[in-house]
């Protein structure tokens, strides 16, 4: 492997003289130079399936070559590997000054396609001997051609001059980034922006959906091509409909394994999420109840958290309009939860303020009733209370509600609930708050939220406590310290 800016590379022409053109030429390149980097068929020559060749052919075989391509495929269809191979092909055969760039919501996502391409180059001697490999860039000195990855930040994309640009996960892509990419064209005779992904959660503002609608409304526009594999139009079919699976998944029973599809069926995943990710259906129920029907009721034992148990207490606090809640959960790999107390504004009472002293006293009483190892809370607006409790030697732990933290904690809680790895007392208020919680999903992940921001909307503060308590209680159960928890009696 030749790496680094001063590494010597072979400046001879690639030993390849194909007579084919378009997608057939790309197919020949893959069989001769590209090896599968991982998974099914790893390290063997990349053999394009007919449907993959048709996808690439929608651009390479078209005359004139379209400036924009929209491809909608479900997860597990090898989108990243196909785009990586096309990028490597364009890098080595695109002529002088070829530029291939991969753009995604962040550098980690963009790096998925780039790292597959990097590995494809490393696995072939003819390619690797002519290319310098950097952390985020492939470079061919002989033709001044490059392949690099970028986050979808408009200011980072200004001034691009590409032969092939790949906008990954276009279902959640930033519209400003898409527009910067598409407006960068015009400097070369041939350049194409390929927007690829699965449907995103936001049906009101989505690049992939807009491209789909435009292609349907303007079939004669040769500057754009649209291809999709989906079960669109069959949203009334059950999620385990084999006809829908085969329509939407061209790789099914090839390198996409059917048993994995079965393993992901609801209620293990939410139905709307499964339909979007695996059937490419634009499901309208993306923002729905946190748990499938019946799951929460099945977890009830009817028993409170026993006195003296080792527990985590969670606080979700407000100032005036919202609700303040306290929840307790046992420290265990399969914790048990119960409501401590809820403070809520009476409708019409605009003078209401949360009785902070009552909340603090309730926490102190909880520390006398149970062996509290942590009091977890988001410090926003409650910093003074947390400092006061910590000054009393109570075990305060801050739980900032950052997207990355909440996404992981919400996913863990959902998995535990649907798989029966937790339980609760059957408290009515807790059940109401969990039922009122909905999932919002964006490029940063999934999080619990209210169905509405109205002051009269149903409350879900105990559900927010549940996310924090479950996260910390299960972590504590697997990261026990030698020192025993204190009992504040």
Q: pLDDT digit string (tens) for 26-45?
A: 999 999 999 999 888 889 99
Question: Does 406 have pLDDT greater than 80?
Answer: yes
Question: Does 287 have pLDDT greater than 60?
Answer: no
Q: pLDDT tens across 104-156, in order?
A: 877 787 788 999 999 999 999 999 999 999 988 999 999 999 999 888 777 87
Greater model confidence, 158 or 262: 262
Find the range with the poorest average confidence among 153-157, 208-212, 469-473, 485-489.
485-489
| Measured distance CA(417)–CA(434) in Å, rounded | 11
Average confidence (pLDDT) over 9-14: 87
Indicate the SS3 state at residue 205: coil
Indicate the SS3 state at residue 275: helix
| Measured distance CA(3)–CA(128) in Å, rounded | 9
Is residue 267 reached through a cis peptide bond, with omega within 30 degrees of 0 on the bond before it?
Answer: yes
pLDDT on residue 443: 58
Average confidence (pLDDT) over 267-292: 75
Strand partners, 147: 100, 138
Question: Does 346 have pLDDT greater than 90?
Answer: no
Burial letters for 344-368: b for 16+ Cβ neighbours within 10 Å, e otherwise?
Answer: ebeeeeeeeebebeebbebbeebbe
* Contact status, residue 160 vs residue 183, Cβ threshold 8 Å: no
The upper half-sphere exposure of residue 118, i.e. CA atoms within 13 Å in the direction of its Cβ, equals: 20
β 137-140/437-442 pair status: unpaired
Question: Does 429 have pLDDT greater than 50?
Answer: yes
Q: pLDDT tens across 295-334, in order?
A: 898 999 999 999 999 999 999 987 555 689 999 999 999 9
Beta carbons within 10 angstroms of residue 428's beta carbon: 9
Percent of the chain's residues with pLDDT above 70 = 89
Average confidence (pLDDT) over 201-215: 82
Assign a CATH topology to domain 22-228: Rossmann fold (3.40.50)
| Measured distance CA(138)–CA(407) in Å, rounded | 33
Highest-confidence range of 44-53, 319-328, 376-385, by mean pLDDT?
A: 44-53
Question: Does 466 have pLDDT greater than 90?
Answer: yes
Distance, CA of 106 to chain centre: 11
pLDDT on residue 1: 46
Q: Where in the chain is the domain with CATH 3.30.420.240?
A: 295-478
| Measured distance CA(480)–CA(484) in Å, rounded | 9
| Measured distance CA(306)–CA(215) in Å, rounded | 61
Greater model confidence, 15 or 440: 15
pLDDT on residue 206: 83
pLDDT category, 258, cuts 50, 70, 90? very high
pLDDT on residue 440: 74
Give the helix ranges, DSSP H, for 61-153. Answer: 79-93, 107-122, 125-128
Average per-residue pLDDT in the chain? 87
| Measured distance CA(351)–CA(334) in Å, rounded | 41
For 100, the enclosing helix (H) or strand (E) is strand 99-104
Question: Which of the 8 DSSP states describes residue 3?
Answer: B
pLDDT category, 66, cuts 50, 70, 90? very high
Structure tokens at 386: 């947390």
Greater model confidence, 175 or 51: 51
Can you spell out the DSSP letters for 152-172?
S-HHHHTT---SEEEEESGGG
Question: Does 488 have pLDDT greater than 80?
Answer: no
- H helices then E strands: how many in the chain? 17, 16
Find the range with the poorest average confidence among 226-230, 264-268, 479-483.
479-483
pLDDT on residue 322: 66
Greater model confidence, 432 or 164: 164
- Longest CA–CA span in the chain (Å) reads 85
Question: Does 99 have pLDDT greater than 90?
Answer: yes
Q: pLDDT tens across 432-453, in order?
A: 888 888 877 665 566 777 655 5
pLDDT category, 267, cuts 50, 70, 90? confident
Average confidence (pLDDT) over 179-196: 91
Indicate the SS3 state at residue 176: helix
pLDDT category, 420, cuts 50, 70, 90? very high
Q: Considering only the top CATH level, what class is 295-478?
A: alpha beta
Query: The whole model's pTM is what?
Result: 0.62
Question: Does 243 have pLDDT greater than 70?
Answer: yes
């Amino acid at each position: 492997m030749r790496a680094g800016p001063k590494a010597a590379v072979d400046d001879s022409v690639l030993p390849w003289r194909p007579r084919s053109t378009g997608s057939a030429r790309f197919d020949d390149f893959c069989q001769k130079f590209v090896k599968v980097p991982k998974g099914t068929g790893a390290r063997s020559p990349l053999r394009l399936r007919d449907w993959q060749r048709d996808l690439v052919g929608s651009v390479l075989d078209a005359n004139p070559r379209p400036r924009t391509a929209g491809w909608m495929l479900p997860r597990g269809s090898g989108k990243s590997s196909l785009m990586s191979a096309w990028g490597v092909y364009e890098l080595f055969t695109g002529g002088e000054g070829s530029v291939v760039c991969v753009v995604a919501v962040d550098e980690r996502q963009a790096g998925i396609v780039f790292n597959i391409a990097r590995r494809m180059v490393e696995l072939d001697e003819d390619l690797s001997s002519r290319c310098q490999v950097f952390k985020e860039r492939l470079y061919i000195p002989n033709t001044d051609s490059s392949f690099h990855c970028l986050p979808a930040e408009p200011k980072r994309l200004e001034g691009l001059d590409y032969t092939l640009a790949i906008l990954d996960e276009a279902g959640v892509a930033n519209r400003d980034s898409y527009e910067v990419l598409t407006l960068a064209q015009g400097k070369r005779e041939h350049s194409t922006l390929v927007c690829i992904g699965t449907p995103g959660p936001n049906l009101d503002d989505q690049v992939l959906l807009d491209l789909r609608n435009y292609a349907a409304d303007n079939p004669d526009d040769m500057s754009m091509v649209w291809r999709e594999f989906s079960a669109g139009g069959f949203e009334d079919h059950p999620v385990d409909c084999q006809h829908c699976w085969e329509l939407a998944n061209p790789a099914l029973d090839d390198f996409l394994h059917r048993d994995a599809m079965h393993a992901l069926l609801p209620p293990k995943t939410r139905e709307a999420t499964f339909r979007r990710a695996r059937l490419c259906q634009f499901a309208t129920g993306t923002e729905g109840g946190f748990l499938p029907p019946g799951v929460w009721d099945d977890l009830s034992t009817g028993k409170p958290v026993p006195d003296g148990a080792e527990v985590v207490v969670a606080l979700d606090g407000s100032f005036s309009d919202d609700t303040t809640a306290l929840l307790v959960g046992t420290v265990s790999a399969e914790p048990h939860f119960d409501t401590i107390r809820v403070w809520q504004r009476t409708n019409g009472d605009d003078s209401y303020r949360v009785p902070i002293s009552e909340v603090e006293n309730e926490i102190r009483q909880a520390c006398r009733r149970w062996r509290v190892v942590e009091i977890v809370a988001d410090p926003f607006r409650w910093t003074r209370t947390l400092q006061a409790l910590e000054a009393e030697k109570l075990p305060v732990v801050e739980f900032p509600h950052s997207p990355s933290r909440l996404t992981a904690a919400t996913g863990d809680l959902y998995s535990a609930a649907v798989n029966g790895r937790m339980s609760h007392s059957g408290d009515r208020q807790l059940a109401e708050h969990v039922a009122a919680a909905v999932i919002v999903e964006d490029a940063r992940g999934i999080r619990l939220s209210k169905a509405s921001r109205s002051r009269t909307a149903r409350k879900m503060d105990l559900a927010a406590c549940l996310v924090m308590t479950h996260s910390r209680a299960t972590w504590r159960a697997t990261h026990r310290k030698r020192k025993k928890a204190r009992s504040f009696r």
